[in-house]
Every structure is written in C-alpha cells, then in structure tokens.
Amino acid sequence: MSERMQGYAPTTTHAEWGAGDPRLLISRDDQDRTVVHLTRDTVTIGSDGGCTVCLEGAAPLHATVVHDDRDEYVLTMHGPGLMNAYCPVDQHGARTETLRTGARFTVGEWMLVFSRAEFADHGRPYGGRQGGEGGHQSRQPERPDYPATGAIPTRLG
C-alpha cells in the first residue's frame, strides 16, 4: 500500500484552475457594499492609489491576496485587523492565512469576506457537500444585497 501512496497528491476538487468565481464581498456600516472578483494573481488592498482595491482608512498597503500554484487564495495582512484564524506574526510583521469560503478579515472599518463556489473551494471535502446536511440544519439568513458589477473598484469610500 505504501508503494501506491508514494507520489500520491490527493485533491478535494476537480474544478479548473481559478474556477468558482473567487471574490471578496466588501462592506462597511451596512451601507457601503461591493464585490471584487479575484481575476488577478495578486490583489493588493490599501489606501495607496496604486492598490488594486483602495479602501479609505486603510494603511497604504494593508493586505495582499495571492492566487498561488496550488489554486489557493492566500491572504497576507501587512496592517492591523482581525482575521478568520489565529495567525502568528512573521519576521516582517505580517500574518498569512489560506482563505476558505466564508473567511472574514477587517481592514480599518471595512469587513471583507472571501467567497468561492462550493465545487471549487478546496476547503470542502470532496469538492462539496456529501448528502443531507440541509435536512438537519436551520436555514441561514438571506445574504445582503451586494452589487455584482464585475468591475474592480478603484477607490471605495
């Protein structure tokens, strides 16, 4: 059996690379809402005009989301903010987390939530649900109304 396991690299999805419309749902004060589709391999978030996503009140380069060679989206927080998981600070003062659907992080007053279709989210076993959970789980509240323009905003706020 160990001979068969050598070189075996299990995966949890058979989706195309970058599939599942990976995106960030960005909101502030339940009034400002937008969707940023992650179509680039590196997305920078901050208040600097050169950032992919400019957010008022953020550090000039507050966070980076990188689409890596494992088809994962990895968040690196360069500035202060809450993250979905506890992540120790590295030697450069940054914290890193692999994003899964529903992962939240804050940048100043902004809440950002990562979302990707379930079939392509590597964090879900076997690329999605395996039967019946909906039968014994209570329904979730409706999602807020995010504009789905498809365009990456140049400045929010």
pLDDT digits (tens, 9 = 90+) for 96-154: 999 988 899 999 999 999 999 877 776 654 444 444 444 555 555 565 565 555 554 55
> What domains lie within the chain, and their CATH numbers?
17-126 (2.60.200.20)
For the entire predicted model, the pTM comes to 0.69
Least confident of 52-56, 60-64, 124-128, 149-153: 124-128
Closest CA to 63 of 11, 107, 115: 107
Specify the higher pLDDT residue, 87 or 138.
87
